[in-house]
Structure 1
Amino acid sequence: MVSVRSVVDRMGPTLLHALSLPEDCPAVADVVIAEPGGVSAGDLVLAVSVGDAAGAVELVRHCAAKGAAAVLLKPPLANKPAVRRAAGSAGIGLVEVRAATSWAQLVWLLRTVLDAIADETESLESGGDPSAGDLFRLADAVASVVDAPVTIEDTNSRVLAYSARQDLTDPARVSTIMGRRIPDDVLARFRSRGVFRDLSRGRQTIFVPAQKDGTLPRLIVPIRMGGELLGSMWAVVAGPVSDERSAAFADAAPVVALHLLRRRAHADGRRRASAELLRALLDGRVGPRRAAAELELSDEPHRVVVIDVPASDPAGAEGLRLTLEERISQGVGRRPVVTELGGLLYAVVPDDDGPGSWAELRAALRQSERTRAAAGGPGELSELGRSRAQAEETLGLVRAGLVDGRVLDFDEVWTAVTLHRAATAAATAKIAELGPLGTLRAHDEAGGTEYVETLYESLRHPGDPRAAARALRIHPNTLRYRMRKIQELSPLDLDDPDVRLALLSQLVALRWA
């Protein structure tokens, strides 16, 4: 059982402050956004859209009637006397969310904390070490050693855990915890001071003095195991730290390293299991109902995304896969659903605008100049096979240079798909070998002319020689000259619509097949 008090304590005063918690407060079961009919027993209810005290009072009473664990409100609503009285009389927890906290980030953080407490409880029930997966508790222990608030971060400056007392830090630390990673501007300042260079070189401790913008001093320790940098610990200190305290802080690094290795092993196992299940789902070896339950896929429409990773850069491919998993797993309750098939990365993503969606993943993929990717059309989980086929067909067009762009979805290229399918069928029937087209092709091959391409663009732009010339990047007079030469080589009745249609079908087969 997870109590509201344990969640608030774990989140720390930087983000949450308990205003009232009844002794018989229900155990926490889930985190939900306040909406009509969306509250159940044991929920932590986030009052995202409540705008006044009357609405807050009504929400508190409604949540209490549904057996929710607590209502989370931002100031000034959380401290309104009417709201506090309503919570007290209804017997429901009332928690204040710090004003600067992002609701979206808070949902993600609450889920992280609930998962951590659940892992700890599961370990206790199985007779294991309850601290094995509890980096938050370890961060508290390290903070007591160095007598300063601490964060534990991975090699990408993402926050894995943080200690209590973060309210005694600076805005940079608060932003780091709220965003779960060091903000880019703060990261740039530490990088300019050579902090990350020193981390990679293996210095035992790194002291960074206070900065002009008000950022307090930092004492930083790399976390290593077997020569590999696994992450780092950052303590916000008042000033220079004694050698004894610095050494004690550094001595904690090997213990943290063991936890990070266990965490990575667990994540690797989870990722492998998810990848294998996704492969089975895409291949039709497992039903969508089982896959949806184990991969925690929602009932909303999803797309299959296929990503072409340069084979010449295995390190970059691994980094891209990890980035994909991070992007896709940002959504609340979502597990990374990424796998590899035939040298390509496949992902299943929701067709919405939320975290881990196709819209967000697409924006991220477009930032890489080397990445080529395609998404199939949206559909139910039972239709993922169709979405996969569409994604693969679209990527084929991208690879062949038949469409403009590196990251596309099937809906955008339906005209190209139609032409390509028609051309493929026409090529099988060998229609390009019929009629006088062979004479023009032979002339182009022998003399280096471009009569076939000229005829194609002229037929694509009937009655508009200027547009056809622009497509060929030639002058309209040059286009007219070429068309006269084409008529001399192979007299064609271009006034006959059937002739034009037959020629265009042949040219499409040559160009798109």
Structure 2
Amino acid sequence: MLGNLASGGPNAPYAARMVSVREVVERVGPTLLRDVWVPEACPAVADVVIAEPGVATSVAAGDLVLGVAAADVEDAVALVAHSAGRKAAAVLLKPPLAGKQAVRRAAKDAEIALVEVRAATAWAQLVWLLRTVLDAADSEAIDDSDAGAGDLFRLADVIASVVDAPVTIEDVNSRVLAYSARQDLTDPARVSTIMGRRIPDDVLARFRSRGVFRELSRGRQTVFVPAQKDGTLPRLIVPIRMGGELLGSMWAVVRGPVPEERAAAFAHTAPIVALHLLRRRAHEDARRRASAGVLRALLEGKVGPRKAIEELDLGEGPHRVVVVDTPGGDSADGEGLRLALLERISHGIGRRPVATELGGLLYAVVPDGHGPGSWAELRKALADLRLAAGSAVDVGELTRSRAEAEETLGLLRAGLLRDNAGSYDEVWTALVLHRTAAAAAAARVTEFGPLESLREHDRVHRTEYLATLYEWLRFPGDPRAAAAALRIHPNTLRYRMRRLLELVPLDLDDPDVRLALLTQLVVLRWS
């Protein structure tokens, strides 16, 4: 039998929501949900209802129906048929029912989405999160208070009383999300952590060297870290998990080993904090998606700067467009990496940069300078990736900065720059040479003179006369510098130049000859 969820039903306040089943699954995340089958015409979600035994159901169009009471395949198939008849958006079941062939076939035949709920997920927690997602979808601009930031600080105070010690709540990037007002026991590491809203790098390194984060990832309920020689007080740390995913951790500054009962009580608060963190993530995801959509439209020239300033909170002063080159292209691995980087850029680098995906690349708009979330900080944080920045411009000229960033990325991809990163104004010499080479190549300037003879000789005999001539012309009168650029001895350079001049008649004393040859060689090197 079926029943309705208290506060649910067709007239519930969520009836006008226009978020799709697929979007709901994405926003709650793979920690809790997996779409088994979703029809091509992905339905919109209106509300959440629970199927309970012994009570008549009130399933309406667009509902997410939670199969709490489905005990076997027969129950699950009946629930799918009933929900489809009422035009519900999806049926949510736990394994193994969601994966049974008969249930999947029933969902496909009835054209209703089927979603699997991870086995360890509590139904009450899921209802709370689903309602959070539906609520977040109703507003494009969500501030921190909507994400429960105040509640998280109040919760930190409650947890501090449970463990009888000052507490910080941190995410997986060691950023402080909330901390207790209680400050009776503290040390420089805690003060720096709260002031900087994240664990300082040197303190982080010390905890990492002691294996703290390795222990957190291994499923331990609590991790005790003794006092350190530098005066850092002991810590009792509790990981925050949901469905097997590590969401963050709670750190209590303690005087020494904590009694087992109190440590257990501290650990038992973790599921409550996990709910808050998942709710916060759902709100932040909604805000990030809204910002990404506005930024994408701005970079494509589809919205004006006034809307961008209002909705993206870019602040005053010039900004740069930064483009990040991600390996993997359009493959699943590439897409996964871009999503992870979007999360890292949007939430883990200083003042939140605005980022979006466009054409298989990541774009971020960051303030110029060296402050939080700036181009300088982003460049340092993503030093292992290839990224390029346009020049610093007003918001109304961000499309120009985007074009400049893409041109700079082209130089990086072609291996024409020494570093993995660069900005348009930094690499002006490379841009001049590249554009000159492109224009000269279109004029077919390499077809004149003896250059083709040298190219053919290098190809057939595996010599390096073109490279030798290029460096000789770049360093006039300085054979040592030219030889160093080629990584050969100066005598080897002189020998090559003698052999080169025996092959082709060149008057290298004529400045126009030198300039023409250098132009041709620039075309070969930079185009």
Corresponding residue number in structure 2 for 1:265:
282
What pairs with 1:228-267 in structure 2 (closer than 5 Å)? 228-267=245-284
Task: Give the secondary structure class of the aligned counterpart of 1:354.
Answer: coil
Q: 1:418 aligns with which of 432, 448, 472?
A: 432
Whether contact under 8 Å (1:373, 1:395) holds in the other structure is yes
2: distance between equivalents of 1:326 and 1:249?
27
Corresponding residue number in structure 1 for 2:467:
453
1: distance between equivalents of 2:499 and 2:143?
79
2: distance between equivalents of 1:453 and 1:209?
61
Whether contact under 8 Å (2:149, 2:178) holds in the other structure is no
What pairs with 1:187-336 in structure 2 (closer than 5 Å)? 187-311=204-328, 318-326=339-347, 328=349, 330-331=350-351, 335-336=352-353
Corresponding residue number in structure 1 for 2:154:
137
Q: Deviations over 1:420-468 (max 9, x none)?
A: 1111122222221223221111111111122222222233333444433
Corresponding residue number in structure 1 for 2:39:
none
Whether contact under 8 Å (2:238, 2:249) holds in the other structure is yes
Q: 2:498 aligns with which of 484, 488, 492?
A: 484
Whether contact under 8 Å (2:338, 2:362) holds in the other structure is no
Alpha-carbon distance change, 136 to 451 in structure 1, aligned in 2, over 3 angstroms: same
Whether contact under 8 Å (2:353, 2:373) holds in the other structure is no
Whether contact under 8 Å (2:175, 2:198) holds in the other structure is yes
Alpha-carbon distance change, 208 to 477 in structure 1, aligned in 2, over 3 angstroms: closer
Whether contact under 8 Å (1:376, 1:410) holds in the other structure is yes
Task: Give the secondary structure class of the aligned counterpart of 1:412.
Answer: coil
One-letter identity of the residue aligned with 2:518: L
Alpha-carbon distance change, 197 to 444 in structure 1, aligned in 2, over 3 angstroms: closer
Whether contact under 8 Å (1:306, 1:347) holds in the other structure is yes
Deviation at residue 242 of structure 1 after TM alignment: 3.6
2: distance between equivalents of 1:166 and 1:254?
24
One-letter identity of the residue aligned with 2:272: V
Task: Give the secondary structure class of the aligned counterpart of 1:168.
Answer: coil
Corresponding residue number in structure 2 for 1:38:
none
Alpha-carbon distance change, 176 to 483 in structure 1, aligned in 2, over 3 angstroms: closer
Deviation at residue 509 of structure 1 after TM alignment: 1.1
Corresponding residue number in structure 2 for 1:431:
445
Alpha-carbon distance change, 198 to 285 in structure 1, aligned in 2, over 3 angstroms: same
Q: 1:443 aligns with which of 451, 457, 470?
A: 457
Task: Give the secondary structure class of the aligned counterpart of 1:165.
Answer: coil
Alpha-carbon distance change, 475 to 146 in structure 1, aligned in 2, over 3 angstroms: closer
Alpha-carbon distance change, 168 to 428 in structure 1, aligned in 2, over 3 angstroms: same
Task: Give the secondary structure class of the aligned counterpart of 1:390.
Answer: helix
Alpha-carbon distance change, 262 to 445 in structure 1, aligned in 2, over 3 angstroms: same
Deviation at residue 268 of structure 1 after TM alignment: 1.2
Corresponding residue number in structure 2 for 1:393:
407
Corresponding residue number in structure 1 for 2:82:
none
Whether contact under 8 Å (1:303, 1:351) holds in the other structure is yes
Task: Give the secondary structure class of the aligned counterpart of 1:202.
Answer: coil
2: distance between equivalents of 1:193 and 1:278?
42
How large is the RMSD of aligned CA atoms in angstroms?
2.7
Deviation at residue 188 of structure 1 after TM alignment: 4.0
One-letter identity of the residue aligned with 2:483: A
Please, which runs of 5 or more residues in structure 2 have no aligned partner? Answer: 1-141
Q: Deviations over 1:240-275 (max 9, x none)?
A: 434433332222211111110000111111112212
Whether contact under 8 Å (1:350, 1:356) holds in the other structure is yes
1: distance between equivalents of 2:385 and 2:312?
26
Alpha-carbon distance change, 455 to 119 in structure 1, aligned in 2, over 3 angstroms: closer
Q: Deviations over 1:257-316 (max 9, x none)?
A: 111000011111111221222121111111112112211112311111122233377766
2: distance between equivalents of 1:501 and 1:146?
77
Corresponding residue number in structure 2 for 1:126:
none
Alpha-carbon distance change, 421 to 193 in structure 1, aligned in 2, over 3 angstroms: closer
2: distance between equivalents of 1:249 and 1:484?
81
Whether contact under 8 Å (1:327, 1:356) holds in the other structure is no
Corresponding residue number in structure 1 for 2:133:
none
**2:377 aligned with 1:352:** no
Alpha-carbon distance change, 157 to 354 in structure 1, aligned in 2, over 3 angstroms: closer
Alpha-carbon distance change, 167 to 442 in structure 1, aligned in 2, over 3 angstroms: same
Alpha-carbon distance change, 478 to 140 in structure 1, aligned in 2, over 3 angstroms: closer
One-letter identity of the residue aligned with 1:352: G
One-letter identity of the residue aligned with 2:359: G
Q: Which sits farther off after the overlay, 396-405 or 478-487?
A: 478-487
2: distance between equivalents of 1:118 and 1:303?
24
1: distance between equivalents of 2:492 and 2:210?
61
Whether contact under 8 Å (1:302, 1:378) holds in the other structure is yes
Corresponding residue number in structure 1 for 2:391:
377
Alpha-carbon distance change, 380 to 119 in structure 1, aligned in 2, over 3 angstroms: closer
Whether contact under 8 Å (2:236, 2:253) holds in the other structure is yes
Corresponding residue number in structure 2 for 1:32:
none
Deviation at residue 338 of structure 1 after TM alignment: 1.5
Alpha-carbon distance change, 185 to 434 in structure 1, aligned in 2, over 3 angstroms: closer
Deviation at residue 212 of structure 1 after TM alignment: 4.8
Alpha-carbon distance change, 173 to 427 in structure 1, aligned in 2, over 3 angstroms: same
Task: Give the secondary structure class of the aligned counterpart of 2:364.
Answer: strand
2: distance between equivalents of 1:161 and 1:242?
25
**2:493 aligned with 1:472:** no
One-letter identity of the residue aligned with 2:237: I
Whether contact under 8 Å (2:169, 2:248) holds in the other structure is yes
1: distance between equivalents of 2:380 and 2:179?
30
Whether contact under 8 Å (1:302, 1:350) holds in the other structure is yes
**2:211 aligned with 1:181:** no
Task: Give the secondary structure class of the aligned counterpart of 2:184.
Answer: helix
Whether contact under 8 Å (1:327, 1:361) holds in the other structure is no
Q: Deviations over 1:73-120 (max 9, x none)?
A: xxxxxxxxxxxxxxxxxxxxxxxxxxxxxxxxxxxxxxxxxxxx9755
Whether contact under 8 Å (2:169, 2:178) holds in the other structure is yes
Corresponding residue number in structure 2 for 1:407:
421
2: distance between equivalents of 1:213 and 1:500?
64
1: distance between equivalents of 2:484 and 2:310?
54
2: distance between equivalents of 1:456 and 1:193?
54
User: Scaled by the length of structure 2, what TM-score is found?
Assistant: 0.66
2: distance between equivalents of 1:469 and 1:169?
61
2: distance between equivalents of 1:340 and 1:186?
34
Task: Give the secondary structure class of the aligned counterpart of 1:204.
Answer: coil
Corresponding residue number in structure 2 for 1:146:
163
Whether contact under 8 Å (1:465, 1:479) holds in the other structure is yes
Corresponding residue number in structure 1 for 2:178:
161
Corresponding residue number in structure 2 for 1:341:
358
Alpha-carbon distance change, 395 to 132 in structure 1, aligned in 2, over 3 angstroms: closer
